[in-house]
Amino acid sequence: VKEEGKNNFQFFTSEMNDLISRKSKIAMSIRKGLELGEFSVYYQPQIDIETERIIGVEALVRWNHAKLGPISPTEFIPIAEENGMILHIGEFVLRTACQQTKAWQDAGVEPFRVAVNISAKQFSQGNISEVITSALEDAQLAPEFLELELTESLIQGATSAITKMQELKAMGIHLSIDDFGTGYSSLSYLKLFPIDSLKIDQYFTRNINKDAKDAALVDTIIQMARNLGLNVIAEGVETLDQLVYLKNKHCNQAQGYYFQKPLLPERIEELYSKV
């Protein structure tokens, strides 16, 4: 029994070691991965439900690690937030997205916005408006083609967040609240913050045709957004049933596998060229 106990203990620690070393491997190889060009950006179309036309794309970062293979952003973004590398990843995505959007416009793709995810740390620590101004200028992209997806968590630093948002808004940049409904913020910030749209989290979208309570929440979010004069975009739309439901409730925008998965930039160009 003693022997077994000992073996179990060793097994447990070696499993833990594997986990720790994967995490620290990831943490330590972000900088090098950026230098080596292991990171790239995919783009997922955002659709106007009424016209079914593209109104924007969301930029989603991808990492193909030399040794570990593809790593999901849901795994490496939290690690990068912990060790500060999110500032570098975030700037890479922002610059790539602005340059790509300008390149599409130059190539005759119908003009649409690019939405970039901004983590709370990037928003609170970085000199975000300088980074953004520089990315737009270098890409020669007009600010109205950029949207920032912010989460409720950055609302913690309330007053400084409002000032930064107002600054960005004054530049002509669009602002949206991502994963709306999953945070714990007070709704009163919706009145204070100069935002253009709310994004309904895919957690709610998934169940609208199955769960009456999720459906009720989605109805309420749509109603509230429309009453406040905001756009409302449902993410994670995978089926026609979900789309029809959203359309009947006057949700005006949608994004999800029902339309397109996140795509390579060349594919976006093929799909949305003007002629």
Shortest Å distance, C-beta 218 to Ca ion: 14
Per CB under 5 A, the segment of 43-51, 136-144, 146-154, 185-193 that binds Ca ion is 146-154
Is residue 179 a contact point for Ca ion (CB under 5 A)? Answer: yes
Read off the tokens for 194: 């100069």
Q: Which of 149, 130, 132 is nearest to 141 (CA)?
A: 132
Q: Which of 159, 225, 224, 126 is nearest to 148 (CA)?
A: 126
Q: Which does 152 bind (CB under 5 to 8 A by kind): ligand C2E, Ca ion, none?
A: none
Shortest Å distance, C-beta 146 to ligand C2E: 13
Q: Which does 119 bind (CB under 5 to 8 A by kind): Ca ion, ligand C2E, none?
A: ligand C2E
Q: Which does 265 bind (CB under 5 to 8 A by kind): ligand C2E, Ca ion, none?
A: none
d(CA 32, CA 14): 27
The Cα angle at residue 244 between residues 243 and 249, in degrees rounded to 5: 100
Q: Judging by beta carbons within 10 Å of its beta carbon (0-12, 13-18, 19+), is residue 187 exposed, middle or buried?
A: exposed
Binding-site ranges for ligand C2E (CB under 6 A): 44, 60-61, 72-74, 77, 90, 93, 117, 119, 178-179, 202, 235-238, 256-257, 262
Strand 69-71 to 39-48 pairing: unpaired
Which residue, 117 or 122, has its beta carbon nearer to Ca ion? 117
Which residue, 77 or 135, has its beta carbon nearer to Ca ion? 77
Q: Which does 262 bind (CB under 5 to 8 A by kind): Ca ion, ligand C2E, none?
A: ligand C2E
Shortest Å distance, C-beta 60 to ligand C2E: 4
Residues 6+ apart with CB under 8 A from 20: none
Is residue 147 a contact point for Ca ion (CB under 5 A)? Answer: no
Is residue 151 a contact point for Ca ion (CB under 5 A)? Answer: no
User: Which amino acid is located at 128 in the chain?
Assistant: I
Residues 6+ apart with CB under 8 A from 139: 95, 98, 99, 101, 102
Shortest Å distance, C-beta 152 to ligand C2E: 12
Which residue, 109 or 200, has its beta carbon nearer to ligand C2E? 200
Q: Which does 257 bind (CB under 5 to 8 A by kind): Ca ion, ligand C2E, none?
A: ligand C2E
Q: Which does 183 bind (CB under 5 to 8 A by kind): ligand C2E, Ca ion, none?
A: none
- The H or E element spanning position 22 is helix 2-35
Dihedral of CA atoms 122, 124, 126, 131 in degrees, nearest 10, equals: 70
Near Ca ion in 84-123, by CB under 5 A: 117
Shortest Å distance, C-beta 227 to ligand C2E: 24
Give the interface with Ca ion as residue ranges (CB under 5 A): 117, 149, 178-179
